Amino acid sequence: MNDSTQSREVEPHIFDAELVDDLPTEARPTWWRRFVNWWRRSPHVPTPLKSRHALKLAAVDGLAFMLRSPWRFVSAVGRGTVAAARGWRRWVRVHDYRDAAEQSEKLADKFTEIRALTLFRWKVTGAVILAAAAAATVAYVLYDWHGLWLAAGIGAAALAVFGRRKDGAPGRKPVLAGPRTLTWTMDSQALVDAFRDAKLIGKDESLRQVERPAHDGSGWTVTVDLPATRKAADVIKHREALASALAVDELQLIAERVRGRGGHAGRVFLWVADEDPYSGPPLRFPLLDVESWDAWRPVPFGRDARNRRVDLQLVWTSLVVGAIPRQGKTCATRLPAAGLILDPYTRLYVFDGKGGKDWRAAEAVAHRYVCGDEQEHTEAVRDHLVELVAEVQARFSRMSTLDDDICPESKITPDISRDRDLGMPLTAVIIDEVQVYLENPTREEIEGKKTTLGAYIADLLTYLARKGPAVGIVVILATQRPDSNTIPSRLRAVLGSRFALRVMDWRDSNIVLGEQMNTRGFDASTLLPSHKGVGILRPDGDTDTGADTLATTARTYYLTNAEWRSLCERGRSLREAAGTLTGHAAGDDSPRPIDRSAVVRALGSSAAENGPPADLPEPLASVVEYLGADLDQRDFVPTAELTDELDVDPITFARRMGELECRPTRHRVPTDDGDVRRVRGYFTADIRRAIDRVQPDEISSDDAAEADTG
């Protein structure tokens, strides 16, 4: 029994051994693979020999060392000579003995001894000089000049060793830990001094080099770790101070936090341009060389300071472009429009509030087109937007009936947008000088509610920007008056992508880019007037410059009027070939029958869910928007909370709220530790009464004015 059991236990081992032996040759590691794995992992193999990249860096460092060696040797000899002279001077003047006597307060008693020791050391110095001269004479007699050259070489080598950079010596401490290499312009000590001068690190703190400085494009890059508790966000926030300390323009400096597996909150990537990165000839638009474009792909928008292409995603988001006149706003708006024009399956609503010829060429491809700032033009914009809101409602209804295979996530897909039977193409609303339409003061009554024409257009755009992306609607707005009165906060809040060219001050920059963006280091008012087309892009999504990049300064591509007309003509030809030319471009301006009451109900429910009433003045509108549902649920709101969240001056805020007859009062509120303290703030009941007072007063005064005019 034991023998049989033993045999049964042995057989499986033999069988397993046969399986291992039967493995194909290609499945087993070859001797070459084993050697390569050992070579790459062995600590005995030098790092430069483990990869081509490391070998290239080592070769560059070796060449740099050879080029710098003569100068480094000469400078080391010079430092050694100076250091030796200083040391001899201290020795011959008996500084060590004198300092000891001063510390023991017996300098007067030791004066005679110090003088005698000084004379003795001078004698020793003379004897050494005479001995050296005699040795040099003997070497010359015996070995001619060769002996003197040999002695001079030995002496120079000794001085170079004595003058080498030593850790701990003043001016000789390596200020950056980590790998060292040749840098022609990136000086380690200058970088640390700049961080200290900018108050980003303390006087006794230093930096740690993570990646060696390298020349990247037209500038230098370096990655450093800040001291413990120091944050990369502070470096980005104070980029202007750091640029000043580095003696470069802030536009030449890029500071980014390194994120992901190789980064942390204190790791900073710096790029310093050799010269102005935004100068030079205009950048040619890449889409001029393509026959057509897929609007689902990001559109080339410009290039950043490091000459990396910046693309702009249009689907699923909306865009606002803000700038003062003559800074390249219209050209920047044309770029995303060009990507849509070159896709024959897109539909365009183009409204030009300027009334010039900038958008005239787009008339050949636009489904709806309005050009002008008269009353009739504003009313036409309103009617077209109402039509589009009804279209959005119809798309949601059609999409709800589609199978999950066709519409898996209740959102539009490329196949849905190109299906002619479904009738849901990507649709873009492009409005240049949108403030012309939003500021129209004409009073009108919409389903029993009195409002202004501009406020109604703002409600329509807000609905499209909020609800439209899911069914393929893209809203692109451009304005030369980026202030709170031009673009209401309820509309700005739903515009995902923002691009700010040069504006007047940081407030206008924040209105375009978002609240407190200037405190994060992004202020469009600091851009130079000479930099046409340069602005700060805050994308709603990933870019080639990094998925975690909050914003980036980019120089947009340039489109001449002739190139713009050529693109529009090509877009019309593509639509004619695909049979997708519709609306105004096809000669059909007749409006479609729609249910306007359903549109008004949709706007009303959307406003109730997401925003304040349309005609509230500031800062009351921002207060109502911030509180939202809390306006009915909370009894009291502290003033400090409102001013911090709205980023407004407390004195100005109190004065403007007082003008609306809504004044603060003191009230007892509980604290986190269970105590009760009195704070200054507003009762929500007073805010609601202010809303009721403002709206009827504005409407009644306008109605009275209209009656007097009649």
**SS3 per-residue string spanning 460-514:** HHHHHHHHHHHHCEEEEEEECCCCCCCCCHHHHCCCCEEEECCCCCHHHHHHHHC
pLDDT of residue 649: 80
Mean pLDDT of the chain: 79
Residue pair 638/678 in contact by the 8 Å Cβ criterion: no
Portion of the chain with pLDDT greater than 90, in percent = 27
State the first-to-last Cα distance of the chain, in angstroms, to the nearest integer: 120
Residue 312 above 70 pLDDT? yes
- Say which range, 107-111, 137-141, 371-375, has the weakest mean pLDDT: 107-111
- Say which range, 29-33, 97-101, 519-523, 594-598, has the weakest mean pLDDT: 97-101
165 pLDDT band, cuts 50/70/90, is low
pLDDT of residue 696: 46
- Cα–Cα distance between 503 and 524 in angstroms, integer? 6
671 pLDDT band, cuts 50/70/90, is low
pLDDT of residue 8: 43
Domain spans of the chain? 2-40, 54-162, 176-273, 286-586, 616-709
pLDDT of residue 485: 67
What stretches of 611-649 show up as alpha helix (H) in DSSP?
A: 620-627, 630-633, 639-646
CA-CA-CA-CA dihedral for 46, 47, 53, 58, to nearest 10 = -70
- Cα–Cα distance between 614 and 490 in angstroms, integer? 9
Q: Which residues of 254-286 are buried (b: 16+ CB within 10 A; e: fewer)?
A: bbbbbbeeebeebbbbbbbbeebbbeeeebebe
pLDDT of residue 708: 39
CATH number 2.60.120 is the correct assignment for the domain at 616-709: no
pLDDT of residue 15: 43
Distance of CA 210 to the CA centre of its chain: 22
Q: What does the pLDDT look like over 432-487, one tens digit per residue?
A: 999 999 989 898 887 777 888 998 999 899 999 999 999 999 999 999 877 666 77
Q: What does the pLDDT look like over 493-545, one tens digit per residue?
A: 788 899 999 998 888 888 888 877 887 778 898 888 888 899 999 988 544 44
pLDDT of residue 24: 45
Q: What does the pLDDT look like over 630-665, one tens digit per residue?
A: 676 677 888 888 887 777 888 888 888 888 888 888
Q: Taking residues 220-249, what's their average pLDDT?
A: 87
pLDDT of residue 594: 76
351 pLDDT band, cuts 50/70/90, is very high
Residue 134 above 90 pLDDT? no
Q: Taking residues 53-64, what's their average pLDDT?
A: 75
pLDDT of residue 100: 63
Full DSSP string of 346-393? EEEEEEESS-SSTTGGGGGT-SEEEE--SHHHHHHHHHHHHHHHHHHH
- Say which range, 77-86, 194-203, 613-622, has the weakest mean pLDDT: 613-622
Q: Taking residues 590-598, what's their average pLDDT?
A: 76
Q: What does the pLDDT look like over 254-278, one tens digit per residue?
A: 888 888 777 888 999 988 888 888 8
> Pick the residue with more confidence: 126 or 68?
126
Token output for 87: 């040391």
Q: What does the pLDDT look like over 320-334, one tens digit per residue?
A: 999 988 888 999 999
Residue pair 488/621 in contact by the 8 Å Cβ criterion: yes
> Pick the residue with more confidence: 611 or 417?
417
CATH class of 176-273: alpha beta
pLDDT of residue 110: 62
- Cα–Cα distance between 366 and 350 in angstroms, integer? 6
Residue 396 above 60 pLDDT? yes
Other CB atoms within a 10 A radius of the CB of residue 439 amount to 18
> Pick the residue with more confidence: 495 or 604?
495
Place domain 286-586 in its CATH homologous superfamily.
P-loop containing nucleotide triphosphate hydrolases (3.40.50.300)
124 pLDDT band, cuts 50/70/90, is confident
pLDDT of residue 382: 93
pLDDT of residue 545: 47
- Cα–Cα distance between 418 and 420 in angstroms, integer? 6
Q: What does the pLDDT look like over 61-88, one tens digit per residue?
A: 777 777 767 777 787 787 778 878 877 8
Q: What does the pLDDT look like over 7-53, one tens digit per residue?
A: 444 444 444 444 444 444 444 456 777 777 777 777 777 777 777 76
